[in-house]
Structure 1
Amino acid sequence: MLTPGFATLNGADSRAVLRKPTIDYERLVTTFKLYGTSACHLCEVAEMLVQQQLRQDSHVRVELQDISDSDELVDRLGTRIPVLAHPDGRELGWPFSAADISAFLYG
């Protein structure tokens, strides 16, 4: 017997075919990159500031990228590190404050 308000699909109660939607949480996360080097004191300060801002939101992730692994990155960013890069191509170069980071990540 069918419940009023439910249609049939191939002769079966439609509730039998309803499924929970699959959510790809990776697509909901925005991934930024923080460029620097392991020997850069300012990069350590920037990493600490960024991590403090990330505690506020779980939909933002920052990956650390050591520019010394790439000649192209050294040429492009070597005198500007630390640099926080948005996936849309915008960059926030040092010096920056916690407020600057928050506006860049969430603004």
Structure 2
Amino acid sequence: MQVNGATGFVLIGDPGDDHCPGNRITTGSVQLTNNHAGAELVANNIGGSVQVSGTTGTGPFPADSSAGIVGNTIGGSLACAGNVPPPTNRGTPNTVTGSRTGQCAAL
């Protein structure tokens, strides 16, 4: 799954304030690149890797002040770079089988 260059808020799962259930992406990876109105990747089960880069802007709620990568199960690696501000897990860590690098090293 790829989302590149979106000018609206990117939402892939968030059963909390956005009322969007998590997704099962059993094969393939998730790439979010150069999106300019914030992004959330929350409570998803992803079989491959996740890459988030170049995300800027904010979403519709106060909690959406940076890219949220929250409570996902990721079968591959998690890599983030060039996001302003840096992504956060908002206190709910992700489960990552592979490596965590760049801005996502602690998520």
TM-score normalised per structure 2: 0.23
Greater fraction strand: 2
Larger radius of gyration: 1
TM-score of the pair, normalised by structure 1: 0.23
Greater RCO, CA 8 A, separation 6+: 1
Query: Normalized per residue, which structure has more helix?
Result: 1
